[in-house]
Amino acid sequence: MTCSLRDILRHFDNRISEVATASIMIGIGLQIIAAPVPGDYRALDDLLRCMSGDFIAAFFIAVGAIRVAALIANGHWRTVGPWMRSAGAAIGALIWSQMFLSLIVVSPDDLTSLGAPVYFVFTWIELISIYRALAMRGHHGRGG
């Protein structure tokens, strides 16, 4: 069985933004593990108030990996897949909005991060993904 880039893009079709945000979550988790100095990640200030850096890293990796798995299996889990996608997008929206708020509200004196607009847009992408996952339930993972 061969799997080309074209096959991958066709499978994810209208869900490519969800793949991107899930992959970024995994990447952030791996970055926290590789450079475990959570105090330097201003976007995580709000999350670090109630969680450890290790937990945040594991949580990001787990949520990202589960989302990718749900996206891969979406067409095969016709009843559960869209609900898993929407739940993953809701968790993603919560994470990105917390990171945005950390940069804007918690650390307003240190607005040197260019991440705030990125996290704001990711939050909206996730909110749109929730809508799309639930509105497109009848398409069973296929564009249309």
pLDDT of residue 58: 93
Type of residue found at 38: P
Triad 61, 62, 65: Cα angle to 5°: 80
Burial 13-51 (b: 16+ CB within 10 A, else e): eebebbbebbebbbebbeebeeeeebeebbbbbbbbeee
- pLDDT tier at 106 (50, 70, 90 boundaries)? low
Here the tokens at position 70 are 């749900």
- pLDDT tier at 20 (50, 70, 90 boundaries)? confident
- Asked if residue 143 has pLDDT above 70, the reply is no
Here the tokens at position 112 are 């040197």
Triad 135, 137, 143: Cα angle to 5°: 85
DSSP structural state of residue 107? S
* pLDDT tens, residue by residue, 50-100: 888 889 899 999 999 988 888 777 666 777 778 888 898 999 999 999 888
Question: What pTM did the predictor assign?
Answer: 0.78
Q: Which residue has the higher pLDDT, 49 or 14?
A: 49
Question: Percent of the chain beyond pLDDT 90?
Answer: 24
